[in-house]
Structures are given as C-alpha cells and as structure tokens.
C-alpha cells in the first residue's frame, strides 16, 4: 500500500453531479451589472449571450446539479483522471511531506478546460444554437471548445490573443482541425478590435480585448451566435467541481487527507474545481484544509488588485462584476511567459477570499519555470506553465515541511500539460526569462479607471 503511486478510479466513479459552493458558503452574491445601464442584468440581456440552462446554473442555489447523460458519455473519454503521489519529487526535495497531484492534462486537448467546454457546447446545442464565439489566450480554452463544438456540430469563431497566435501556431492548427475559425485579436472585424488597432496598430492583444470581440460578434449576430467563456463565471466553476469530487475519493484510496490544496489561478476555474469540494468538507464536516490559490507576480489580481466592480472586458461589452481586478484595460507585460493573464478573477472566488475561506499567493516566473523543470525531471510530465505556478507553491510548502520536519500532506491540481508551450520553455532554458512585478504606479491608478456604480 505504501508504495503506491497511481490512484485510479473506474468509469462508475465519475461524479454524477456538479457541486455548487453557493449552497454552503452563505455569502450573498454581488449583483451582475449591465455595462451600459450599470443596473443589474436582466435574463433577456444574458440570453443574448448564453442558453437559459447556463444562466440558471449561474444563479443556482441548488447544492448538486445533475450532469446530463450526454455530457457523462463524453466525460468518459478521459475521466476519471488519475491522482498520483509525486514520490520522486519528494525524494528530490528531501521532504517528509507527501505530495499528491491530480492530473487534468490527460483530457484529449491537454487541460481541465474540456470539463466545461463539453457541457457548454451541449447546452447550446440542445437549446438550438448553431454557432458560438469565444476568445482564447494561450489556446487551451480555444482547443477545448473546438473539440466540444466538433462533438455537437456547432460552428465556432475563436478570437485568439495576437501574441499567442504568433507564438503558438500549433494550438491554432489544432483548433482548425477540429473545425474552428481562428482570428488574431485585435481584428478589424469588430468595432472593439478596430478602435484598439486605430490607437495601437501593433497591439499584442489581451484577453480583455479578445473577450470584447467575441462578445460583440455574438451580440450583433441577431441571435445567430452565442458566446462562451472558459473561466471566471460561476457555471464554469461548477462544471470543474468534478476534479475535486474525484480527488476526495482518490485521497481516500491513498489513506490520507490533504492539509493544503493548491491550484493556479487565471480566471479561477481549475483552482475552484479542485478546492470547492474540499471547502465543503471544511464548512460541513469539520475538516481544516488550507486552500491556496497561486497567481503570477506579473498579474497579481487577488494579492494586489482592488476588490471592486469592473468590466469583464476591455471594450465594456461584457457585464460588470465585483471582483479583484487590475483594471479592464490591463495589458500583460510582454516578458511574462506563464499564462494566467486575465485582469480579473472569478467573483465567486473573490468573495470567498474576502471572507477568509481561501488563501492566495503570487510567485515569480523564473521560480515557476525552475519548479516546472524539477517536476518534469522527477515525474516525467512537462507541465503547462500555468499549472507550474501550483507546482511552485507545492514545492515551497514541501520545503517548509522539510525545515519543520512536518509530515504535511499536499495536494495540487496539475491543470494541463505544456506540449504546446515549448516556445516559453525555450525562453527559460536559454536564460531569457526574468521576473516581473506588476508596478506599484499601475496599481495606484486602477481605481480611477473603474466604472462608477451604485452598489
Ligand atoms: C486556462 C488554464 C488555466 C487558467 O485558467 P483557470 O480558469 O484559472 O483554471 C490554468 N491551467 C491551464 C492548463 C489552463 O489551460
């Protein structure tokens, strides 16, 4: 038993329900505001973007939401995902801590994003949608939604952040093979894109800009296209809860319970996915697991951003939500190679952070790639740079345990593999990466750029 490394579940262990933390957290959600009127959004406003089933999930108070049969069938292509004990990494660190990781990189597209792409495409299909629009940064979300749209015969337009479009052609080729149309954002196809290009013809793009373009294309389609988002929204976090539910069973198989659960955060979905079922156990069953979100020092929305209402996108097309934000016009530094570039954070997670139920930390990218390399050499998996933020924090926890001699149990989410991120790995191995802290002057002016609202 003590020698086991892999903890595998069978098909019948795939969760049949998504878990909704809002049923247990007792935190009333802040209103979501219409970007034009700055009044709470109406279902009609949201229904231009999303099918009704997803809108209902967004505001649901139900503790468990049944996963449709068709979605279960597609989940079986890669779920349950394995949970492993990183014994070789433990040995390399000389730590008494036990390090476990849940590996979501086994999904066909290489990340956890398939967990929400499949149900989002499914609900759109059954509500009569024929086409979707979306944005993608590093390309993981675009790949996942392209695959899912292929499953359900939906057309897909992907607005891909220009700098990634140039640096990651293979992600684009993958999306195109699944049948998606991919555009380098900013484009001159939308008002949002054209207004950015007018001022900055060489704009590298940002997630905020790409979201504006994808939302604009859906809003102006006369009901022909819906929009889909791969993180941040509550229904996305819900869908990701399968990660934590499986992990609970697998830790049980390992005969241990985590003292700390760690995930990287961009918009917050993979962290929420692994952490929320453990938060339920804290709230309902007296467990005391620490839940640690890890972000880059280059985009420190939780640790240094302002908790306020802000636009979800740069061109102010998307709803205004209450979140930790760096400002909707945020453009990430060109030197930053580690992903996780969104200016805001899932409102659900922000409210839990504000209430002290989860923790957050920020790490520099050189240390992140150091951790990725050590992990690859020990465990044989080349991790996504995003996921490597969680590896960094897990290693730091294990090194602290080495100092204190504590047999701490650490679980982190390995949200994806890095097989399409070799451009960034090359920058690291050739010594071109430097740490970058988001400047204090920029933090100081966030407040001036926020919308003025009455909530
Ligand atoms: C998109 C992505 C992330 C960041 O998004 P979250 O919504 O915060 O999970 C992290 N890891 C991988 C591999 C991703 O593709």
What are the tens digits of pLDDT across the range 235-276?
A: 999 999 999 999 999 999 999 999 999 999 999 999 999 999
Residue among 111, 139, 238 to mutate when testing ligand 1 (max atoms within 8 A of CB) = 111
The CA distances from residue 299 to 199, 212, 349, in Å, are 24, 19, 16
DSSP symbol at 142 = H
Q: Does the beta carbon of 239 sit less than 6 angstroms from any atom of ligand 1?
A: no
Reported confidence tier of residue 2, pLDDT bands at 50, 70, 90: low
| Mean pLDDT to the nearest integer, 139-154 | 98
Q: Which fold has domain 6-13+68-110+235-449?
A: Rossmann fold (3.40.50)
Nearest-angstrom CA–CA distance, 239 and 20 = 9
Atom of ligand 1 nearest to the CA of 340: 4
- CA–CA gap between residue 372 and residue 366 (Å, rounded): 10
Q: pLDDT band for position 1 (50/70/90)? A: very low
**Residue whose structure tokens are 């100081």:** 444
Q: How confident is the model at residue 338 (pLDDT cuts 50, 70, 90)?
A: confident
What is the SS3 string spanning 212-263? HHHHHHHHCCCCCEEECCCCCCHHHHHHCHHHHHHHHHHHHHHCCCCCEEEE
Q: Is the pLDDT of residue 34 over 90?
A: yes
| Number of neighbours of residue 88 by Cβ within 10 angstroms | 15
SS3 call for 64: strand
**Residue nearest (by alpha carbon) to ligand 1 atom 5:** 266
**DSSP designation for 383:** B
Check if the beta carbon of residue 161 is closer than 8 Å to that of residue 204. yes
Average pLDDT over residues 62-68: 98
Mean pLDDT of 337-360: 95
User: What is the residue whose two structure tokens read 């989860």?
Assistant: 358
Quick one: pLDDT band at residue 336, thresholds 50, 70, 90? Answer: confident
CA–CA separation, 232 vs 125, rounded Å?
22
Beta-carbon count within 10 A of 455 CB: 11
Average pLDDT, integer, range 109-136? 98
User: To the nearest whole number, what is the mean pLDDT of the chain?
Assistant: 96
Pocket flag, ligand 1, residue 348 (CB < 6 Å): no
The percentage of the chain sitting over the pLDDT mark of 90, rounded to a whole number, equals: 96
272 lines ligand 1 (CB under 6 A): no
Q: Let me know how long the chain is.
A: 455
Q: Is the pLDDT of residue 148 over 80?
A: yes
Question: What confidence category does residue 345 fall into, taking pLDDT thresholds of 50, 70 and 90?
Answer: very high
Average pLDDT over residues 154-162: 97
- The predicted-structure confidence for 103-122, as pLDDT tens digits, reads as follows 999 999 999 999 999 999 99
């Amino acid at each position: 038993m003590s020698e086991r490394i892999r903890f595998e579940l069978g098909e019948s262990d795939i969760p049949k329900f998504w878990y909704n933390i809002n049923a247990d957290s007792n935190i009333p959600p802040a209103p979501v505001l219409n970007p034009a009127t700055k009044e709470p959004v109406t279902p009609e406003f949201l229904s231009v973007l999303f099918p009704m089933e997803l809108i209902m999930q967004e505001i649901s108070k139900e503790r468990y939401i049944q996963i449709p049969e068709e979605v279960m069938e597609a989940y079986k292509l890669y779920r349950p995902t394995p949970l492993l004990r990183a014994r070789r990494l433990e040995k390399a660190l000389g730590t008494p801590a036990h390090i476990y990781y849940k590996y979501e990189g086994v999904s066909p597209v290489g990340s956890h994003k398939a967990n929400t792409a499949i149900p989002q495409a499914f609900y759109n299909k059954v509500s009569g949608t024929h086409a979707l629009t979306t944005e993608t940064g590093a390309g993981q979300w675009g790949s996942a939604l392209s695959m899912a749209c292929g499953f359900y015969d939906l057309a897909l337009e992907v607005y891909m952040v220009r700098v990634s479009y140039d640096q990651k052609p293979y992600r684009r080729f993958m999306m195109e093979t699944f049948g998606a149309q991919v555009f380098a954002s900013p484009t001159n196809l939308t008002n949002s894109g054209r207004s950015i290009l007018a001022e900055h013809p060489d704009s590298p793009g940002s997630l905020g800009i790409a979201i504006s373009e994808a939302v604009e294309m859906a809003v102006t389609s006369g009901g022909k296209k819906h929009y889909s988002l791969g993180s941040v929204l509550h229904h996305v976090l819900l869908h990701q809860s399968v990660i934590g539910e499986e992990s609970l069973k697998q830790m049980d198989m390992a005969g241990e319970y985590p003292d700390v659960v760690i995930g990287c955060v961009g918009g917050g979905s993979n962290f929420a996915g692994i952490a929320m079922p453990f938060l339920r156990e804290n709230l309902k069953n007296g467990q005391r697991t620490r839940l640690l979100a890890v972000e880059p020092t280059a985009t420190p929305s939780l640790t240094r951003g302002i908790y306020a209402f802000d636009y979800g996108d740069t061109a102010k097309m998307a709803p205004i939500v209450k979140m930790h934000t760096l400002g909707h016009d945020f453009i990430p530094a060109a030197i930053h190679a580690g992903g996780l570039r969104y200016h805001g954070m899932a409102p659900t997670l922000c409210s839990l952070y504000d209430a002290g139920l989860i923790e957050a930390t920020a790490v520099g990218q050189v240390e992140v790639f150091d951790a990725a390399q050590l992990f690859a050499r020990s465990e044989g998996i080349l991790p996504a740079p995003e996921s490597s933020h969680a590896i960094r924090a897990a290693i730091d926890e294990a090194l602290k345990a080495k100092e204190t001699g504590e047999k701490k149990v650490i679980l982190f989410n390995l949200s994806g593999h890095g097989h399409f991120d070799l451009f960034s790995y090359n920058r690291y191995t050739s010594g071109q990466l430097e740490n970058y802290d988001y400047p204090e002057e920029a933090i100081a002016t966030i407040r001036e750029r926020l919308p003025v609202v009455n909530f």
